[in-house]
Structure 1
Amino acid sequence: MSSAAVSAASSCPAKPEEEVEQPRLPPQGREGCSSAAAAVDRKLREASLCASTATEEETEEDDDDEEAAAEAKDGVELGPRVSIREQLDKDKDDESLRRWKEQLLGSVDLSSVGETLEPDVKITGLSILSPGRPDMVLPLPPEPKSKEPWFTLKEGSAYRLKFTFAVAGNIVSGLRYTNTVWKTGIRVDSTKEMLGTFSPQTEPYTYLTPEETTPSGIFARGSYSARTKFLDDDRKCYLEMNYTFDIRRDWPSS
């Protein structure tokens, strides 16, 4: 090839490469993709929410199993029940033992004592007492599956519980109160309080729990669920309540 031809070839501009046009989605196609992505995102969120709810329910079920096992462990194996009349007749010739039994029975009308074996305990009142505030008398039992909390407490406030209950029929041994509290499905508190052994009487009994203080802070405020039970040494349950309550910055206005 001649030098002139080489020179002519080098002076010719190179043919530019043709640009390949990328396919473009029509507007309705883009909207369809966005809708599909939103649907997938929504399904993922729903799946996450369902998984979270299931986890909370499983946690509370596990807590229920632990609570039942603890109640069975704490229960006292007692002998067969006998009526008050039979108890009194057992050692009627022992004067000191007879007086001790009468002292234990307190104000029971011994002339009207029957042959009832099972005690009958009725929880007739429950109040929350906090210094400087009127007593908060709670309705019994709490309304089942209510969307409103049974009561609201102020964070960092001192309080006590007051139980009023009646005993009839026979002596109730080892009456106790248990309370389990959950927040967002996690157990945050479990309380057991021994009330004592009580004989039947016409007047109701009153019991005050030791003073406690509600938790405070941003993580303490919010809604809680709880289960309260009243049981005896035979693990007989006289009342079980499931309810919700709130802890807020301040006491409710009314």
Structure 2
Amino acid sequence: MGFDDKGKEGAAPDAPETHHEGSGDERGTALSRHMSEGSIPAPTEDEEEDVERKIDLGPQCTLKEQLEKDKDDESLRRWKEQLLGSVDINAVGESLEPEVKILSLAIKAAGREDIVLPIPESGNPEGLWFTLKEGSRYSLMFTFQVSHNIVSGLKYTNTVWKTGLKVDSTKEMIGTFSPQAEPYTHEMPEETTPSGLFARGTYSARSKFVDDDNKLYLEINYTFDIKKDWL
């Protein structure tokens, strides 16, 4: 969803100076229109650009192998222990692939109860998923769980259309997370819905959660309304 500029929480601790890796936030905005209720246009070249630009991060390692690497480097050892926290290495250390499960999305607006949106088993909600009030301030919060291995560079992307035109495109770097039993949460920066006669109506959107390897953990196609007031 995202209708203005985007910031974040809950990522892994920064690596020590001896550990050189590239990182950074990627963000973008715009505002879009929808073909017909429930229709999701095919991905555009801009939307597919990230998928094609895959970064080579080298061979994957289990958590046990990660801890064995550079074990004589005290600074790196402490950073890895801080990243992993209380992870039970014996339980998850043999898995190469991380697993991320998006549990729910919540829309938070001042003075109102959160609108909690559970993720359907199919990944695609049927019918209208939610309604936003025009000109209102709100933020989006994700709840997700990480298991098996460390997920690196988890990223959220969202594209919105109205009457067939792309009106919004958002990218949010969420961060790197170690596996743990307790879910993580990440709240997006506050945004403002557009207002006015032409802003009201039904929108279609596509949200994705991917990591640095472009592994797709969830894709949601849905529709939502912007109206004069909340339902």
- Report the TM-score, using the length of structure 1 for normalisation: 0.71
Which of 162, 184, 200 in structure 2 is aligned with 1:183? 162
Report how far residue 143 of structure 1 moved.
7.3
- Paired position in structure 1 for 2:152: 173
- 1:70 aligned counterpart, secondary structure: helix
Q: Deviations over 1:22-66 (max 9, x none)?
A: xxxxxxxxxxxxxxxxxxxxxxxxxxxxxxx79xx8x933x4343
Query: Residue 69 in 1 paired to residue 49 in 2?
Result: yes
Q: Which has the higher helix share?
A: 1
- Paired position in structure 2 for 1:238: 217
- Paired position in structure 2 for 1:32: none
Which of 88, 98, 119 in structure 2 is aligned with 1:140? 119
Count of aligned residue pairs for this structure pair: 194
> Which structure exhibits the higher relative contact order, with contacts defined as CA atoms closer than 8 Å and separated by 6 or more residues?
2
- Paired position in structure 2 for 1:35: none
Give the alignment of 1:120-131 within 5 angstroms.
120-131=99-110
**Letter in structure 2 aligned against 1:220:** A
- 2:106 aligned counterpart, secondary structure: strand
RMSD of Structure 2 on Structure 1 (CA): 2.1
- Paired position in structure 1 for 2:83: 104
Report how far residue 109 of structure 1 moved.
2.0
Contact 1:60–1:186 (CA<8 Å) still a contact in 2? no
- 2:82 aligned counterpart, secondary structure: helix
Identity of aligned residues (%): 64
Which of 138, 149, 174 in structure 2 is aligned with 1:195? 174
Distance in structure 2 (CA, Å) of the matches to 1:182 and 1:104: 38
Distance in structure 2 (CA, Å) of the matches to 1:71 and 1:194: 15
- Structure 1 stretches of 4+ with a deviation exceeding 6 A read none
Which of 87, 103, 121 in structure 1 is aligned with 2:66? 87
Q: Which has the higher strand share?
A: 2
Distance in structure 2 (CA, Å) of the matches to 1:144 and 1:85: 36
Distance in structure 1 (CA, Å) of the matches to 2:138 and 2:186: 14
Distance in structure 2 (CA, Å) of the matches to 1:113 and 1:96: 24
Query: Residue 162 in 1 paired to residue 129 in 2?
Result: no
- Paired position in structure 2 for 1:214: 193
Which of 111, 118, 129 in structure 1 is aligned with 2:97? 118
Contact 1:83–1:115 (CA<8 Å) still a contact in 2? yes
Distance in structure 1 (CA, Å) of the matches to 2:108 and 2:229: 16
Report how far residue 77 of structure 1 moved.
2.3
Distance in structure 2 (CA, Å) of the matches to 1:143 and 1:198: 23
Report how far residue 101 of structure 1 moved.
0.8
Q: Deviations over 1:178-235 (max 9, x none)?
A: 0000001110000000100111111110000000000000000000000000000111
Structure 2: gaps (5+ residues):
1-34
- Paired position in structure 1 for 2:29: none
Query: Residue 60 in 1 paired to residue 41 in 2?
Result: yes
Describe the shift of the 1:111–1:166 C-alpha distance in structure 2 as closer, same or farther (beyond 3 A). Answer: same
Contact 1:173–1:197 (CA<8 Å) still a contact in 2? yes
**Letter in structure 1 aligned against 2:201:** G
Q: Deviations over 1:142-182 (max 9, x none)?
A: 77473x31000000000101101010111111101000000
